[in-house]
Amino acid sequence: MTGFKATLIGGLMMTAGAAMASAPVTSIRPESRAAIVERVTAQPVVFVVGTSVRPTIRPARNATVTQGASVVTQEQISTSNIGFQRWIDGFRQRAMAQGITGATLDKAFRNARYNADAISRDRNQSEFTKTLWDYLDSAVSDSRISNGKAALREHAAKLDRIEAKYGVEKEVVVAVWGLESAYGAVRGKTEVIPAMATLAYDGRRGAFFEEQLIAALKILQNGDTNVQGMTGSWAGAMGHTQFMPTSYLDYAQDFNGDGRRDIWSDDPTDALASTANYLKRFGWVKGMPWGVEVQLPQGFDYALADRKITKMPNQWGRMGVRGLDGKAVPNHGSASILLPAGSQGVALMIFKNFSVIERYNAADAYVIGVGHLSDRIVGKRGFQATWPRGDRALKSAERKELQQRLTRAGFSTQGVDGRIGPNTIAAIRSYQKARGLTPDGYPSLTLLQKLR
């Protein structure tokens, strides 16, 4: 699929900003159960976030929790707590049927309270649009690069061992760490059990969060951490590299040999190993780049810039696609051409490892951020082509309008949902060809204005 897609579980993201200015929004954490995620596409990328509200695990008397235009009153909280306790009573039987002991449940829920903040964030998320280049300005900022280099030096010995065992380059692991928690500075302080229970009881995705809650209880029962130590984002993402509980059960590692898979402590060893294991399990190929910047020849057929079209680099080379050194890209494996900002921005040749990072977070912007940050922290240069910085991203209503107008003009997008997927890109290209425009499939504001 071309275009940008942000994988969200209803926009479950938190703002990572404590360690450096303008830190990017953290991603949805590694989660192998693709059936329960929503894929939201945008141009070039849409991040859905909640405004920052101080966590209120135990609301004080007469307190209010404000989120945007909504206010959760103390009366609503009290009513919710009554229903919440009844839900816990029913959940207890379901949990025990899945192997959770009464003792674990007693410890986990002894001081659990309805988390109004989690519900406020879940229900009142406002969409704002951010272009890829704005995102990269923060995700691959000078400070994030320098902090990544420092992290490589500080943890060199353990990172070398992790790379040797899992076959994932250490700079890639460090780049994920940098984007997920600003190298451990922003791991989240919300108690996971009350938050997951609240969202399972009163959230929009109750079945998903109940699954995560069961997984979190299994983690406690296994002794990897305790109730107080199991902290993370309001949406349940945990530790240095922000694992959801189900992914933790599947992929977390005890790399330091202390008998616990501890991704929460100040020591990042287990978290970094867990991330390397995750990438390995999804097919990481050591020595293969995630992608490289390329130059496209005059007259390039932009219909070939499609994730479904793969060729060996020497085949692309025979078509005039060159690396920045003017030579054909080495044959690292089959590759596609990706134009994240259309014909006016950076052109990338992407390889299998791009798709592996995508399993961590399916937004192309995130993948490019991780890949480019990993390159920069080992001394490679930044992108050489320019971005169309005069452009802005389309808002959701504008993306729907674009689809409506394309369809009315005879270029069907096969539906109007505000998601820029393959059907919409194909329609854009058909329209562009018919109007003598560069058929790069890029959903720009200029294109929408032409349709208007």
To which H or E segment does residue 338 belong? strand 336-338
Q: What is the pLDDT of residue 79?
A: 58
Beta strands in 182-335 (DSSP E): 190-191, 231-232, 291-295, 322-323
Cis status, amide bond into 422, omega within 30 of 0 = no
Residue with tokens 């404590």: 18
Q: At what angle are helices 364-376 and 352-360 packed, to 10 degrees?
A: 110
Residue with tokens 């994030």: 144
The radius of gyration of the chain from alpha carbons, rounded to an integer in Å, stands at: 23
pTM tops 0.85: no
At 68-82, the pLDDT tens digits run: 334 555 555 555 678
| Other CB atoms within 10 Å distance of the CB of residue 154 | 12
291-369, what's its fold? Lysozyme (1.10.530)
Asked if 19 and 147 touch (Cβ cutoff 8 Å), the reply is: yes
Asked if 17 and 23 touch (Cβ cutoff 8 Å), the reply is: yes
Write out the residue limits of the CATH 1.10.8.350 domain(s) in the chain: 65-119+187-281
Q: What is the pLDDT of residue 35?
A: 28
65-119+187-281, what's its fold? Helicase, Ruva Protein; domain 3 (1.10.8)
Write out the residue limits of the CATH 1.10.530.10 domain(s) in the chain: 291-369
Q: What is the pLDDT of residue 72?
A: 52
Structure tokens belonging to residue 136: 């990269």
Would you write out the chain's pLDDT as a tens digit for each of its 452 residues?
Answer: 333 233 333 333 333 333 333 333 334 456 433 322 322 222 333 322 222 222 222 222 222 233 333 455 555 555 567 899 999 999 999 999 999 999 999 999 998 999 999 998 888 766 667 899 999 999 999 999 999 999 999 999 999 999 999 999 999 999 999 999 999 999 999 999 999 999 999 878 999 999 999 999 999 999 999 999 999 999 999 999 999 999 999 999 999 999 999 999 999 999 999 999 999 999 999 999 999 999 999 999 999 999 999 999 999 999 999 999 999 999 999 999 999 999 999 999 999 999 999 999 989 999 999 999 999 999 999 999 999 999 988 999 999 999 999 999 999 999 999 988 889 999 999 999 999 999 999 999 999 999 99
| Separation of alpha carbons 165 and 276, rounded Å | 9
